Amino acid sequence: TFLRRFHDGTNDGTRPARLSAQGNGEEISGLAYVLERAGARAVMATLWSVEDQSTKDLMINFYQNLSQGQNKAQALQQAKIAQINRHPYFWSAFLLIGDPR
């Protein structure tokens, strides 16, 4: 789905891709590697599928933190901390692969 939109040009680049690993995790690292080789400096992935509202909340916090000058690693950490009172299922699945700056 995302890769199809990415490949045929219908993904305008304004929406982040959320990758979800299933199985032993080799698939996510392989896909992240391919995206980095294609020019992505970093890839945000999830270890399991997270419901849309939680993902939206975390991503809003993430991009707000980036706009305040935090690097990607700090922005993700702070976005997770903002949801610390929620069950870890909703925020702990997110990880950053690649350049944290």
Instruction: Say how far apart CA 76 and CA 90 lie, in whole Å.
Output: 13
Q: Residue 36 has what pLDDT?
A: 75
More confident position, 40 or 8: 40
Angle ∠(32,38,43) on CA atoms, nearest 5: 35
Whats the size of the chain, residue-wise?
A: 101
22-77 pLDDT, tens digit per residue, is 555 666 667 777 877 888 888 888 888 899 999 999 999 999 999 999 999 999 99
pLDDT digits (tens, 9 = 90+) for 20-37: 555 556 666 677 778 778
Task: With beta carbons less than 8 A apart as the criterion, state whether 59 and 85 touch.
Answer: no
CB distance 68 to 32 below 8 Å: no
Tell me which of 7 and 28 has the higher pLDDT: 28
